[in-house]
Amino acid sequence: MALTYKIEEPGIGETTCKITFTNDEPFIEHIRYIQAEFDENGMYLSDPTLEIVRQLGNGIAAKIAKGVITPTANTEEEEE
């Protein structure tokens, strides 16, 4: 089981990042939105956001391992 992630940085005026977690076996795509981190000038901070994503990923990996997060019908169709 290898879990990877892709971070879509917030656009102008947005405060959230879209995170797509992808697990290889079983194949699962899990999308979450998190509050992005910004400095006092409103500049996006990727390092603190990345740390949040890593922690969230650990929880998602554990839930996949326990069967709490499972492949959806859409995910299973993508495999075929």
pLDDT digit string, tens, across residues 12-36: 899 999 999 999 989 999 999 999 9
Cβ contact 6:19 at 8 Å: yes
- Mean pLDDT of the region 44-73: 93
Per-residue pLDDT at 57 exceeds 70: yes
Query: What is the value of pTM for the model shown?
Result: 0.82
Work out the burial of residue 71: count CB atoms within 10 Å of its CB; fewer than 13 is exposed, 13-18 middle, 19 or more buried. Answer: middle
- Reference 4, options 57, 63, 70; nearest CA is 57
* Mean pLDDT computed over every residue of the chain: 90
- Is the link from the previous residue into 48 a cis peptide, with omega within 30 of 0? no
CB contact set of 35 (below 8 Å; sequence gap of 6+): 15, 16
